[in-house]
Amino acid sequence: MMAEGQGPAGGVTPHLTIGGGKAAEAIAFYAEAFDAVEQMRHMDQQGERIMHSHMIVNGGSVMLNDDFPEMSGGHAAPPPVGVTLHLQVDDADAWWDRAVKAGATVRFPLDDQFWGDRYGQVIDPFGHVWSIGAPIKQ
């Protein structure tokens, strides 16, 4: 028996919209910064924009696409606000260093936190916030 509100497959998958026709750049960035592995990609009919891409990041699915304002009444996708994609990893420093080297900017510096994680936040070049955390090494 499923719990109330639980779908048949379970889970939640983030789906990022990338503005400016830069979804392919975003996929390359996520591969470099977060060791993402693209599973599949579907292009639009003109072969110019990505309609759908599925990546695996740290064992979880992330989907993304280029913005298609013509599919939403001519409105561009709003900038990402109020969402943080969290990566709970084995080595926060290694993941952090790789992300910053790839071009992420620091939003909240990586440091040991009172709740027992080494934790910080970066913003990717496309405006999405990512947090990185791992248990503090003893």
* pLDDT tens column, 13-59: 999 999 999 999 999 999 999 999 999 999 999 999 999 999 999 99
Tokens standing for residue 92: 């926060």
What is the extent of the structural domain holding 36?
15-69+80-135
- Helix H or strand E segment including 34: helix 23-34
Q: Comparing 50 with 74, which gets the higher pLDDT?
A: 50
List the CATH number of the domain containing 85.
3.10.180.10
Model confidence band, residue 9 (pLDDT cutoffs 50, 70, 90): low
132: nearest Cα among 28, 122, 7:
122
C-alpha–C-alpha distance, residues 95 and 101, integer Å:
10
* Residue 1 belongs to a domain: no
33: nearest Cα among 118, 96, 84:
96
Coil, helix or strand at residue 122:
strand
* Residue 53 belongs to a domain: yes
Model confidence band, residue 73 (pLDDT cutoffs 50, 70, 90): confident
Percent of the chain with pLDDT over 70: 93
Structure pTM? 0.89
* Residue 75 belongs to a domain: no
Coil, helix or strand at residue 121:
strand
Q: How many domains does the chain have?
A: 1
Sheet containing 117-123: which strands, arranged edge to edge? 84-88, 129-135, 117-123, 105-112
* Residue 4 belongs to a domain: no
Q: Are 133 and 119 spatial neighbours (Cβ–Cβ below 8 Å)?
A: yes
